[in-house]
Amino acid sequence: MNYNYQKATKWLESKGQELFGSHFKIYDEDKTIIHKLIAYNTNDEKLANQFGINLEKGMLLSGPIGCGKTTLMTLMKHLATPQRKYYVKSCREVSFEFIKEGYDVISRYSKPSLHQSKVGIICFDDLGTENNLKYFGNECNVMGEILLSRYDIFINKKVKTHLTTNLSASELEQFYGNRVRSRLRESFNLIAFSNNSRDKRR
């Protein structure tokens, strides 16, 4: 399907104002990132190839606090094709679930339950805002374990995962270890805001 990216961007801005308020605006300096996300979510192979995006991998959207990562990923799911539909889940919410329910939470996000035929596409939002947590005295890097499990289903079943984070590559390795960082390189497209991107919350 061919998309008019100018019209798609205007539609996204209108949808953003509907969802987040009349102050929502797509800035000119962000339009390359917007177009990358549109190309990915609409499965536009031609433009994705021009941007160096692998449509078989997930998206890792990184950038400084307040640049609009969560807002964009929440917005883009309304544009995604049926095969690319995903939902957004806060990493902090996952950590709270772990405190309450324990290790079953890791399986919840990496294996189908009795009520599911398959594991869906998830965008884990704000990776790095959660901490190592204890359940009955046992410490666990919850998101690290989930990401390793999600990597396995990516390899075996081609199920994608998306992430947003304000951590750098070295910080991701520090938080989650070299093994997780290696898996991220293999299974994600990095789409990054510059460090001097404006704070969109103002």
- Does 39 fall in a domain? yes
* pLDDT band (50, 70, 90) for residue 3: low
Pick the closest to residue 69 from 111, 114, 10, 128 (CA basis): 128
Strand 58-62, strand 161-165: pairing: parallel
The larger pLDDT score, comparing residue 202 to residue 121, is at 121
Residue 92's Cβ-count burial label (10 Å; 0-12, 13-18, 19+) is: middle
pLDDT tens digits, one per residue of 36-51: 999 999 999 999 999 9
CATH number, domain containing residue 120: 3.40.50.300
In the chain, the amino acid numbered 190 is L
Q: Is residue 180 part of a domain?
A: yes
Tell me, what's the pLDDT at 135? 45
Could you tell me what percent of the chain has a pLDDT over 90?
62
Give yes or no for a contact between 73 and 164, defined as CB atoms under 8 angstroms apart: yes
Residue 115 within a domain: yes
**What is the pLDDT averaged over residues 134-160?**
82
DSSP sequence for 102-147: TTHHHHHTTS--TT-SS--EEEEEEETSS--EEETTEEE-HHHHHH
Residue 35 lies in a domain: yes
Residue 150 lies in a domain: yes
**How far, in Å, CA of 127 to CA of 143, rounded?**
8
167-193: average pLDDT: 92
Q: Give me the number of domains the chain comprises.
A: 1
Burial class (CB in 10 A: 0-12, 13-18, 19+), 97: middle
- Note whether residue 198 is domain-resident: no
37 in a domain, yes or no?
Answer: yes
Cα 198–88–50 angle (5° rounding)? 65
Q: Is residue 80 part of a domain?
A: yes
pLDDT bin (cut points 50, 70, 90) of residue 114 is: very low
Q: Which domain holds residue 162?
A: 5-192
Q: Distance between CA 201 and CA 199 in Å, rounded?
A: 6
SS3 for 180? helix
